């Protein structure tokens, strides 16, 4: 099976801050990880589907990556 893959697009608030991400594309493997079909996952919000992205810090890392770039070393987090 393919590795889970998804393209997520930012959902920004009035001030331009990233409030959440939206699944623009997800393959079957990514969808199965959250027990959904691909069609059901596409269009859903990241923090709704996987709220732990915020508590784990992964959401922040995503925002940082998109807005300012820059690499981050290996980290361990639990979702």
Partner 1 sequence: VPLVLDGWFYEDEWSGELRVRRYDIRANRLDDALACTWRDVTPELNERQALEDRVLQQATISRLSRFVLGGAAEQQILDEAVRAVAEALHVELAKYLELSSRQDTFVLRAAVGWPKGLVGTATIPAGGHRSYAGYVISEGHPVSVQDMSTETRFTPTPLLVERGVASGLSVVVYGDHGTLGVLGGHSRTERHFTEDEADFLQTIANVVSAGVLRRRGEEEVAARTTELANSNKELEAFSYSVSHDLRAPLRAIHGFSKILLEDYAECLDDEGRRVLGIICANTEKMGQLIDDILAFSRLGRHDLQSSMVDMDGLVRSVADELMELEQGREVRIHIEPLPEAFGDLALLRQVWANLVSNALKFTAPKPRADITIDCDERAEDILYRIRDNGAGFDMRYVETLFGVFRRLHGHEFPGTGIGLAIVKRIITRHGGTVGAEGRENEGACFTFTLPHPPQGDDS
Residues engaged in binding partner 1 (CB under 8 A)? 3-10, 21, 24, 29-30, 33, 58, 61-62, 65-66, 69-79
Q: C-beta of 9: minimal distance to partner 1 in Å?
A: 4
Q: C-beta of 11: minimal distance to partner 1 in Å?
A: 11
Residue closer to partner 1 (CB basis): 9 or 37: 9
Q: C-beta of 68: minimal distance to partner 1 in Å?
A: 10
CA–CA separation, 22 and 8 (whole Å)? 5
Nearest to 18 by CA among 67, 55, 58, 52: 67
CA–CA separation, 53 and 50 (whole Å)? 6
Backbone angles phi, psi at 20, to 5 degrees: -170, 175
Residue closer to partner 1 (CB basis): 37 or 65: 65
């Amino acid at each position: 099976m393919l590795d889970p893959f998804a393209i997520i697009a930012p959902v920004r608030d009035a001030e331009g801050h990233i409030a959440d991400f939206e699944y623009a594309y997800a393959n079957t493997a990514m969808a199965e990880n959250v027990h959904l079909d691909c069609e059901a996952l596409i269009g859903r919000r990241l923090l709704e589907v996987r709220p732990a992205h915020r508590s784990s810090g992964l959401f922040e890392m995503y925002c940082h990556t998109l807005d300012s770039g820059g690499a981050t070393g290996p980290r361990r987090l639990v979702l």
